Structure 1
C-alpha cells in the first residue's frame, strides 16, 4: 500500500480539525468563564491562558492560514483569467459568458431573498420579541450606480491588485488576455508563459490545502472560545430561520437548478463540493476560499479553465445568495420587532434592491451590512435594527460563505455545460482531483 493511500482524505482531516477546534474552544470558554484571566504554571512560569492560547497561538495560527489563502487570490485570478481569455478562439464568447453568468447570479439571488422573506413571514422570528438595545450601528454609504460603473474600470491596475479590488482585476485581466490573443506569435509566447504560471500557482494551492486542517483548528478554537451563546439564545428563532433557509438553498435549490438547467447529477456535485464548503465555512470569506473553489471547479467538476477563470472570481465578487437570505429574514425580523407592517410593494422593493445591490456594493468593505442598511432604508425601517442581529451574525456568516461558493460552482457548471466546456468524464468520476490532494514531501526531500 502506498503512502498516499494510508493518509486520511482531505475532507476527513478538515472535519477532524474543525471538530477538535470546536471542542478546544468550548473547553477554554468554560475554563475562562467568570475570570478575567487564568494562569497555567509550567516549568516555574505563570502563563496567562487567554493571552497565550486564545489571543496568541489560536489567533496567530488562524490569521496566518487566512493570510496564506488571500495571498493566492490576486495572482490566481489574474493569471487564470488571462489564460482563460487568451484561449478563447471566439471573442464574442466572452460576452455570452458575462451575460449568462451575471444573469444566473442575479436570478439565484432573487430566489434566495424571496424564499427568505416567505420563510420569515411564515415563522415570524420577531413576533412578540421585546428587545431593547442601546447599541448603534454606523454603516458606510453605498456608492451610486454611476460610481459603480466608473469604479469597475481601473486607472491603476497595480493599485487594484494591491488593494484586492476584484472587479477591477477581472476587467484588466480580460482586456490583457484579449490583447494577448490578438498579438500573434508574441501573444502565443506570452500565453505559454501564463499557462506555466497557472500550473505553478495551482500547485501552490495544493500545498496550502495540506495545511488546511491545522488552520481550521485554530480558527474554530478562537471562534468558539469567544462566541457568546447567551446572545444566540436570545435570538434563537431568528438564528434558526436564517440557518434553515441557508441549508435548504444550498442543498435543495442549487441542486434543483443544476439538474433543470444542465441535466447534471446534483448528488455528485454536492459530494465534490465538500472540501470547498468546509473551507468557506471556516474562513467566512468567498475571496479567501477562491483558490480552493477554483481548484474544485477545475479538477473535480471538470469545468474548463476558460469558463471557471471568469465565473468563479465574478461569483466570489457579486454572488450574494447567502447574504440575500440574511437580508430577507433580517428585514422581516426588524420590522416585526419594531412593529412596522410591510406591504407587498415593500417586499417587492426589498427583493429588487437586494438583488441589484449584490452587484452595486461588490468590493465594498462590510458588504453584507451595507446591503442590509440599503434595504432597510428603502422600506423605511430603522438602520439601528442591525445592532440587534450583529451578535449572531458571525456564526451565520460562516454558513453564508459556504452557500455562496456552492452557488459559484453551480453557475460555473451550468455555464460550462451550455458552452460545451465541461468534461463529463471528470464530473462523473468520483476520484477526479483527489490524486492532487496530498503532496509527498518525503519524495521531494529525496530529490534534493
Structure 2
C-alpha cells in the first residue's frame, strides 16, 4: 500500500481509520443508547448507509474480472522466455505456488482452530446475512454449498471463458489467465509483444480506476461500520481483536517457522545469517507497507548481505514483487474464514479448498495499489455466500495488517531468491535478464 493522500493532505489510510472510528462510534452509540430497531435508524441503514456501502462494493466487483485477468497474464508473462530461463524460471514458479500454499494452509488452520469469528448472536448475524444476501446474489449469484471433488477440478477448465466471466466464475477465469500468460511467453513475436503491451495497458487502467474507487473507501467504511456496530455492539470489537490476533499469529508462524526451514533445507543457508542479512528490507517493508519501496533495498541486501548471484536475484525479486505474495494470500484466507464464522456460515471442506486456490492465485494477481487485495477478498466472500458488507469490519485495522503482510511478502521474495540461487550462477540466466524492469505496480 502506498501513501496516497487526499486533497486535505491526509494519507488515505488515516482517512480510512477516521471513517472506521466515526462509523464505529456512531453505530455503538445507536446500539447502546437508541437501539437498532428504532424507525429512523432502520430507515437510515436501509436507504442511506446501506446503499452507500453497496455502491462501493459494486464498483469493486465491476473491476474484479479485468483486474485479475490482466494482473495474472502480466505476472506470468514477466517471467520471460520459459526455455531460456530453464531451472531458475521453473524453480521460481513452483516455489511461489508451494510456499504461498503453505501460507494459506497455516492461515486457514489457525482460523479453524481458534475460531475468532465465533460468539456473535446468531439472530443478529442472520438478520445482517439476510440484508446482504439479496444484493450480493444479484452481483455474483449463489455459491454451491458443496460439489463433487472430481467435478470441482473439471469445472476449473472453462468451456467458454466469456460465459465464465459473465457468470463471475472467478477460478475458471483465473486458470484461463494463467494459460494465456504462459501462451504469451511461449509464442514470442512482435505481435505478442504488442498484445502484452495492450494487456499491461488494461492493467494500468484498471489499477487507476481502483485507485479512484479506493478514495471512496473512508466514506464507505464509515457507512459499513455504522451498520455493523449498530447491530452487533460490543461483540464487534471483541471479534475484531480476536481476528487481528489470529492473523498476526499466522503470519508470525510463516515468518519464523516456515521461512527458516525453507532457507535452511531448500536454500542451504543458515537462517540466522539470512535474517541478519534481510533486516533492512524487513524494516523498510514494515514502515512503508510497500513492496515497491522495498525492492531496491532487497536487491542490495541480496547482493551485499546474502551474496546471491546478481542476475538471478534481480530476476526473482522483481518477479516476486508481484507474483510471490505469501502474506497477501494468507491474509485473504484468514479474512474470508473469519467473516464466514462471524456470520455463522460453516464452510465445507470443498469450499475451503476453493478459498485456498483463489487465495494462492489472488496472491499472484493482486494489484499493488492501496487495499489492492480488497476486490479479491470481496469476490471470494460472495463466492462462498458471505455478505460482502462484512469487509467493512476489517478495513479499519487493515493498515497494521498491511504492514505485517508486506513484511512477509518482501521477506518471502528474499527466501525465494535464496532457494532459487542455490546451485546457480549468473551464467545460468540469459544476459537479457540482467537488468529487469520493476513491475508497474
TM-score tier, shorter chain, comes to 0.5 to 0.7
Q: Note closer, same or farther for the CA distance 1:244–1:359 as it changes in structure 2 (3 Å cut).
A: closer
- Structure 1 CA distance, aligned partners of 2:155 and 2:232? 37
Query: Which one of the candidate residues 317, 329, 333 is aligned to 1:320?
Result: 333
Q: Note closer, same or farther for the CA distance 1:328–1:101 as it changes in structure 2 (3 Å cut).
A: farther
Aligned counterpart, 2:42: 50
Q: Note closer, same or farther for the CA distance 1:155–1:396 as it changes in structure 2 (3 Å cut).
A: same
Q: Is 1:413 matched up with 2:417?
A: no
| Higher relative contact order (CA closer than 8 Å, sequence separation 6+) | 2
Aligned counterpart, 2:370: none
Query: Which one of the candidate residues 146, 149, 158 is aligned to 2:150?
Result: 146
Q: Is 1:246 matched up with 2:243?
A: no
SS in structure 2 of the partner of residue 413 of structure 1: helix
Aligned counterpart, 1:172: 176
Contact 1:29-1:225 at 8 Å conserved across structures: yes
- Structure 2 CA distance, aligned partners of 1:116 and 1:34? 30
SS in structure 1 of the partner of residue 158 of structure 2: coil
Q: Is 1:186 matched up with 2:195?
A: no
**1:209-251 residue CA offsets vs partner (Å, 9 max, x unmatched):** 322211211111222122255xx49x97xx5895364144256
Compare 210-219 and 103-112 and name the one that shifted more: 103-112
- Structure 1 CA distance, aligned partners of 2:180 and 2:291? 23
Matched residue pairs, number?
A: 337
Contact 1:297-1:409 at 8 Å conserved across structures: yes
Counterparts of residues 3-42 of structure 1 (less than 5 Å): 7-30=9-32, 32-33=34-35, 36-38=38-40
Following superposition, the deviation at residue 156 of structure 1 comes to: 1.3
**1:409-428 residue CA offsets vs partner (Å, 9 max, x unmatched):** 5665355435559xxxxxxx
- Structure 2 CA distance, aligned partners of 1:71 and 1:401? 25
- Structure 2 CA distance, aligned partners of 1:66 and 1:164? 15
Contact 1:17-1:217 at 8 Å conserved across structures: yes
Contact 2:23-2:221 at 8 Å conserved across structures: yes
Q: Note closer, same or farther for the CA distance 1:242–1:353 as it changes in structure 2 (3 Å cut).
A: farther
SS in structure 1 of the partner of residue 39 of structure 2: coil
TM-score between the two structures when normalised by the length of structure 1: 0.57
Following superposition, the deviation at residue 20 of structure 1 comes to: 0.8
Compare 27-36 and 7-16 and name the one that shifted more: 27-36
**1:144-198 residue CA offsets vs partner (Å, 9 max, x unmatched):** 3212221221111112222333322222112222333314111111122222222
Q: Note closer, same or farther for the CA distance 1:259–1:394 as it changes in structure 2 (3 Å cut).
A: same
Query: Which one of the candidate residues 55, 60, 71 is aligned to 1:64?
Result: 55
Query: Which one of the candidate residues 210, 217, 220 is aligned to 1:215?
Result: 220
Q: Note closer, same or farther for the CA distance 1:187–1:412 as it changes in structure 2 (3 Å cut).
A: farther
Following superposition, the deviation at residue 396 of structure 1 comes to: 11
Q: Is 1:107 matched up with 2:111?
A: no
TM-score between the two structures when normalised by the length of structure 2: 0.58
Q: How well do the aligned residues superpose, as a CA RMSD in angstroms?
A: 5.3
Following superposition, the deviation at residue 7 of structure 1 comes to: 0.3
Aligned counterpart, 1:205: 210
Q: Is 1:195 matched up with 2:192?
A: no
Following superposition, the deviation at residue 142 of structure 1 comes to: 2.2
SS in structure 2 of the partner of residue 153 of structure 1: coil
Larger Rg: 1
SS in structure 2 of the partner of residue 320 of structure 1: helix
Q: Is 1:256 matched up with 2:256?
A: yes
Counterparts of residues 429-444 of structure 1 (less than 5 Å): none
Aligned counterpart, 1:281: none
Following superposition, the deviation at residue 102 of structure 1 comes to: 3.2
Following superposition, the deviation at residue 82 of structure 1 comes to: 1.9
Q: Note closer, same or farther for the CA distance 1:57–1:324 as it changes in structure 2 (3 Å cut).
A: closer
Compare 16-25 and 172-181 and name the one that shifted more: 172-181
SS in structure 2 of the partner of residue 154 of structure 1: coil
Q: Note closer, same or farther for the CA distance 1:207–1:222 as it changes in structure 2 (3 Å cut).
A: same
Contact 1:322-1:400 at 8 Å conserved across structures: no
**1:281-336 residue CA offsets vs partner (Å, 9 max, x unmatched):** xxxxxxxxxxxxxxx555676797744654569965996245668999999xx9xx
- Structure 2 CA distance, aligned partners of 1:20 and 1:317? 29
Aligned counterpart, 2:304: none
Following superposition, the deviation at residue 57 of structure 1 comes to: 1.4
